[in-house]
Amino acid sequence: GLANPVYGFVDPVGGIPDREAKLRLVKALLAHGANPNLQATARPPGFGGTGTGGYNDAVGATPFVVAANAADVEMMRILLAAGADPHLVTKTNSNALLAATGLNRGIGEIVDDEDRAIEAVKFLLDVGVDPKAVTTFNENALFGPGYRGWNRLLELLIEKGADVNVVSKAGVTPWLAASGFGDRLGGVLYNKAGADILLNHGADPKLGHPCQAQNKCRPE
């Protein structure tokens, strides 16, 4: 699945110095038959998911999901125009919208810009990607912004129906994630305002239990 040359060019904005050349190359690859719906069959070599633009949920990811992880709306539009299916999910059932929220990406890796993430999420909502989706680890769209302190995105996703009381298989809830009691993900962020937003929308602070481990809060 990683033979598709498009994978090499759906990295985040700025990953290649000449952005326009990058876009022209992707369009040319697609015009010559590169499959926008090919799903990765293995995790590529590279530290921290660098082989798929910093996205750590590589198996099953399509170029569209990788572009969503980079919050690259322009790239997603190009892939859609070439026939990309925005609803395809990874092996862990993570869709493109979950990727855009920062789920499966460590703190400080690749795109950490709430404005761009919101733009990407709104685009994905417009094309019908489910904001209520839950992965096989029982994580939803609130975990990414909960960890990052992206409180406007939290509000948007709650408004769209994401469950504030989902409990991951590791026992972590969005409230625990925002409160600094979830996966450390390369750094610990206590997002009091985000935790309060979740409480105000019905989050139960008694659900689940702290994990506080480095990338070990997600049992296989």
The pLDDT averaged over each successive group of 10 residues in the chain (220 residues) is 54 61 89 94 63 75 92 94 98 96 72 88 99 97 92 98 97 94 69 96 96 67
Q: Collect all residues with Cβ–Cβ distance below 8 Å to 151 and sequence separation of at least 6.
A: 145, 191, 193, 194, 197
pTM of this prediction? 0.88
CA–CA separation, 135 and 137 (whole Å)? 5
The pLDDT assigned to 1 comes to: 42
**Is there a contact between 100 and 69 (Cβ–Cβ < 8 Å)?**
yes
Where exactly does CATH 1.25.40.20 map onto the chain? 1-119, 138-220
Identity of residue 16: I
The pLDDT assigned to 8 comes to: 56
The pLDDT assigned to 84 comes to: 98
The class that CATH gives domain 1-119 is mainly alpha
The pLDDT assigned to 2 comes to: 43
The pLDDT assigned to 76 comes to: 96
- Angstrom CA distances, 182 to 41, 116, 171, 174, 209, stand at 29, 24, 9, 9, 9
CA–CA separation, 23 and 203 (whole Å)? 42
Helix (H, G, I), strand (E, B) or coil at 213: coil
The pLDDT assigned to 86 comes to: 99
The pLDDT assigned to 158 comes to: 99
Fold topology of 138-220: 1.25.40
The pLDDT assigned to 187 comes to: 54
The pLDDT assigned to 63 comes to: 93
